[in-house]
Structure 1
């Protein structure tokens, strides 16, 4: 293999790995908003906000809400 081809394969693999990592974390919830909101409601069902929120910090807000 030529040095340029192997360098391109290494960097291409690295970029692909980053993309594959960020897809389920960032892009999938953006594409499936309703399902992400349902999961968020289920995950936060038993949490009392005052028990976990340190005093003086901003109150939790909906990450899917518009500003």
Structure 2
């Protein structure tokens, strides 16, 4: 009975880890893997936006997350 309980616990934990990984892939890992494609999409998405009109006062100005200093 203990082996069955351990297997069930492992499957539940593995399913949770898989679900979190599947959720993070398009949000975090895909832009890191395909930098040029992400930059083109962002250029299209941000076209026509005047930063000063949408940026709340006192906050840090938007920056390129891929730009290195």
**What TM-score bracket applies, with the shorter chain setting the length?**
over 0.9
- Can you list the C-alpha shifts for 1:29-59, whole angstroms capped at 9, x where unaligned? 0000000000010000011101101112221
Q: Normalising to structure 1: TM-score of the pair?
A: 0.94
Name stretches of at least 5 consecutive residues in structure 1 with no aligned partner.
none
Of structures 1 and 2, the one with the larger relative CO (CA 8 A, separation 6+) is 1
Corresponding position of 1:47:
49
Does residue 66 (structure 1) correspond to residue 42 (structure 2)? The answer is: no
Corresponding position of 2:22:
20
The aligned length equals 67
Q: CA RMSD in A?
A: 1.1
The equivalent position to 2:13 in structure 1, one of 6, 11, 14, is 11
